[in-house]
A and B are shown apart, each in its own frame.
Chain A
Amino acid sequence: MSGRALAPESQGVQVFFAEEFPSTIEAMDRTLDRAVRALVADGWLAQEQAGPARLCLEESLVNAVRHGNRNDPERQVRLELASSGDRCLIRVHDEGGGFHPEQVRMPDAEHMGGRGVCLMRHYMEYIKYNEACKCLEMAFRRGHCAAGG
């Protein structure tokens, strides 16, 4: 992803975590750990309530590695966490053709895949493909990404 422009920022949006990693599950897992720690350190979540946010991050990053970059370690995934008022934006960039979560429907009981998007939809305030940034974007409000919510 070198040479690719960073996500254009609108006014009032501040990136507080950004990391790029090669498309392997091992590298993804390390970035995931650091991102969750950053969310807790920045006061977006309490440590004991980090499960749903970690889940949404993992689902989006695994999609980028497996489907966007087709597990090619030469291709990079970039994760950005940014604040916009009391909203935390999560942006995931890969080198694939773009993923439109609004086109994913709830799979029937026998279907094996497709449930990650359902989980992200449930826990996040929104999830969409950001055409301007060419990335997957989702967001939650401070303290509002919790189990039972």
Chain B
Amino acid sequence: MADKKRVLVTFEDMGRITVGTVRQSSVLSALNVAAFGKQVLKRVKGTRGIHLLLNFEHVDYLSSAVLTELLRINKIVQEAEGQMRICAVAPNIREIFEITNLDKLFVLSEDDAQTSVKRFERALAVAAREATWREPAAEA
């Protein structure tokens, strides 16, 4: 039986970024994928402007059910005006995203969480600056 109370993802706030680390690869089997989705959504839902970095350093197996959960999470993050990225993606996991064309939808990186947080912060800062530059033009 899937252990619904088991902690599958742990969260840590690093500046503006919420890092969700998947604890071990086996949590992303068919047995646990629904619980994985629930645990992430519990953290994400109702948090305006959340920027979520999912850390896949322990993930070495991924099924289409997990992709569906990731799509659901991404949609909710975007609706909350936030962004989602996935880091520490192993080559065999990236391949799953590529086969299903989802590498174009998700921002994936093979870098570790610390490096990816810095990059995510920089991207947010650049986007904020660009938005400031665009505002007067929009008014004109």
| Interface residues of A, Cβ cutoff 8 Å to B | 25-26, 28-29, 51, 54-55, 58-59, 62, 106, 109-110, 112-113, 115-116, 118-119, 122, 147-148
Which of B2, B30, B62, B101 has the most A CB atoms < 10 Å from its CB? Answer: B30
Number of interface residues of B (CB under 8 A): 25
Interface: B64 (CB within 8 A)? yes
A115 touches B67 (CB 8 A): yes
A119 touches B101 (CB 8 A): no
Additional A-B contacts beyond A51-B92, A116-B65 (11; CB < 8 A): A25-B2, A29-B30, A29-B31, A51-B60, A62-B30, A109-B104, A109-B105, A112-B68, A112-B72, A115-B67, A148-B92
Q: Looking at the assembled complex, report how far the CB atom of B38 sits from the nearest CB atom of chain A, in whole angstroms.
A: 15
Q: Looking at the assembled complex, report how far the CB atom of A21 sits from the nearest CB atom of chain B, in whole angstroms.
A: 13
B63 touches A59 (CB 8 A): yes
Which of A51, A115, A118, A147 has the most B CB atoms < 10 Å from its CB? Answer: A115
Q: How far is the CA of A112 from the CA of B1 in the complex (A)?
A: 25
B64 touches A25 (CB 8 A): no
Which of A28, A62, A109, A113 has the most B CB atoms < 10 Å from its CB? Answer: A109
Q: Which 10 A-B pairs have the closest CB atoms?
A: A116-B64, A147-B92, A115-B64, A115-B100, A109-B105, A122-B99, A112-B68, A29-B31, A25-B30, A118-B100
Question: A113 contacts which of B68, B99, B104 (Cβ < 8 Å)?
Answer: B68
- Chain A residues within 8 Å of B102, by CB: 109, 115
- Chain B residues within 8 Å of A115, by CB: 64, 67-68, 100, 102
Complex A-B: 17 CB contacts under 8 Å = A25-B31, A54-B61, A55-B61, A55-B96, A58-B29, A58-B30, A58-B63, A59-B64, A62-B30, A62-B63, A62-B65, A109-B101, A112-B71, A113-B68, A118-B99, A118-B100, A119-B63
| Interface residues of B, Cβ cutoff 8 Å to A | 1-2, 29-31, 60-65, 67-68, 71-72, 91-92, 95-96, 99-102, 104-105
- Chain A residues within 8 Å of B65, by CB: 62, 116
A148 touches B105 (CB 8 A): no
- Chain B residues within 8 Å of A28, by CB: 30
Question: B91 contacts which of A110, A112, A147 (Cβ < 8 Å)?
Answer: A147
Question: A147 contacts which of B2, B31, B64, B95 (Cβ < 8 Å)?
Answer: B95
